[in-house]
């Protein structure tokens, strides 16, 4: 029955989430990021919002299309349930296949990597690097390569300004499957020192590992107990 409601009702915050997504898509023509939704609802973290997204998906009020992370559809109580095939209300301009005036190679999906924005990390004082994915950004393969597992972190702090990384930048991080090399800029955590994550330059002197800032106002950090999340391969900045 096409108008049947899925089991279970909506909480006030869940309804606010649906309304926020619907309003953003109507006003801006694209789905909102989690941060954009967060400012409209009574939740205090992207982790809490991600949990509510999962509940809404399970109950049939929200749908995200597999393989298209910036595509989302929502429905409110009383509206028809989603059809078996993905519709277009939440589709971003340019997400569809190439049109008559577009060369197929210009729209080839293999030329773009959808990279998750995974939170914040410190270049200076520690800042919580949240586990939940806040958004996805499309990045050209010519810049980030073809390795899987990339993620993006927002930088907070000024300890890496000498390397051209300033507070508010996004760094694209590639997972490491072996020890870093001298001069690599890495995202790392250090138990008891930088437990919430930091971006620094890797340097090894003899057997001692150091995480070096690129700002004389900050001091090097012993890195013998560091766990390396990955190597920074690109920096993104809003102008």
Q: Taking the domains of the chain in order of start, what are their residue ranges? A: 12-74, 111-236
Which range is least confidently modeled, 82-96, 124-138, 167-181, 202-216? 82-96
pLDDT for 130 equals 47
Q: pLDDT tens digits, residue range 14-55?
A: 999 999 998 988 888 888 888 888 889 988 877 788 888 888
pLDDT for 202 equals 96
Residues 6+ apart with CB under 8 A from 2: 80, 81
The pLDDT of 147-153, averaged and rounded, is: 83
Active-site position among 159, 167, 227, 231:
159
Percent of the chain at pLDDT exceeding 70: 75
Q: What is the DSSP letter of 72?
A: E
pLDDT for 100 equals 37
Do residues 32 and 20 touch, judged by C-beta distance below 8 A?
A: yes
pLDDT category at 85 given cuts 50, 70, 90 is: very low
Looking at CATH, the fold of the domain delimited by 111-236 is given as: Umud Fragment, subunit A (2.10.109)
Which range is least confidently modeled, 119-123, 148-152, 172-176, 182-186? 119-123
- Distance between CA atoms of residues 111 and 103, nearest Å: 13
pTM > 0.85? no
Q: pLDDT tens digits, residue range 96-137?
A: 433 333 433 444 556 788 888 877 777 765 554 544 566 778
Select the highest-mean-pLDDT range: 26-40, 85-99, 142-156, 213-227.
Answer: 213-227
- Distance between CA atoms of residues 182 and 71, nearest Å: 40
Q: Is the pLDDT of residue 9 over 80?
A: no
- Distance between CA atoms of residues 40 and 22, nearest Å: 12
Angle at 230 between CA 228 and CA 236, to 5 degrees: 135
The pair of three-digit structure tokens given for residue 96, joined into one six-digit string: 């569809």
Q: Is the dihedral of CA 37, 38, 41, 43 positive or negative?
A: positive
pLDDT for 226 equals 87
* Of residues 118 and 1, more confidently modeled: 118
Q: Is the pLDDT of residue 8 over 60?
A: no
Active-site position among 23, 84, 200, 231:
200
Q: Is the pLDDT of residue 86 over 60?
A: no
Instruction: Tell me the average pLDDT of the chain.
Output: 77
Question: Is 200 considered catalytic here?
Answer: yes
The reply to whether 111-236 shares the fold of 12-74 is no
pLDDT for 66 equals 60
Q: Is the pLDDT of residue 158 over 90?
A: yes
Domain 12-74 has CATH 1.10.10.10: yes
């Amino acid at each position: 029955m096409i108008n049947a409601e899925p089991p279970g009702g909506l909480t006030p915050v869940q309804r606010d989430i649906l309304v926020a997504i619907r309003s953003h898509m109507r006003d801006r023509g694209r789905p909102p990021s989690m941060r954009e939704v967060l400012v409209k609802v009574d939740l205090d973290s992207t982790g809490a919002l991600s949990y509510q997204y999962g509940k809404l998906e399970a109950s049939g009020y929200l749908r995200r299309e597999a393989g298209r992370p910036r595509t989302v559809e929502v429905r409110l109580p009383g509206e028809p349930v989603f059809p078996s095939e993905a519709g277009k209300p939440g589709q971003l301009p340019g997400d569809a296949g190439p049109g008559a005036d577009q060369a197929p190679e210009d729209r080839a999906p293999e030329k773009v990597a959808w990279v998750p924005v995974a939170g914040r990390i410190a270049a200076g004082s520690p800042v919580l690097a949240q586990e939940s994915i806040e958004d996805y950004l499309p990045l050209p393969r010519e810049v980030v390569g073809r390795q899987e597992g990339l993620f993006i972190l927002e930088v907070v702090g000024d300890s890496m300004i000498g390397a051209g990384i300033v507070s508010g930048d996004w760094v694209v991080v590639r997972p490491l499957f072996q020890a870093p090399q001298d001069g690599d800029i890495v995202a790392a955590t250090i138990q008891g020192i930088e437990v919430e994550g930091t971006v620094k330059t890797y340097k090894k002197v003899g057997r001692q590992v150091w995480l070096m800032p690129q700002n004389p106002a900050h001091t090097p950090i012993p890195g013998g107990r560091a766990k390396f999340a990955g190597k920074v391969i690109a920096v993104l900045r809003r102008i």
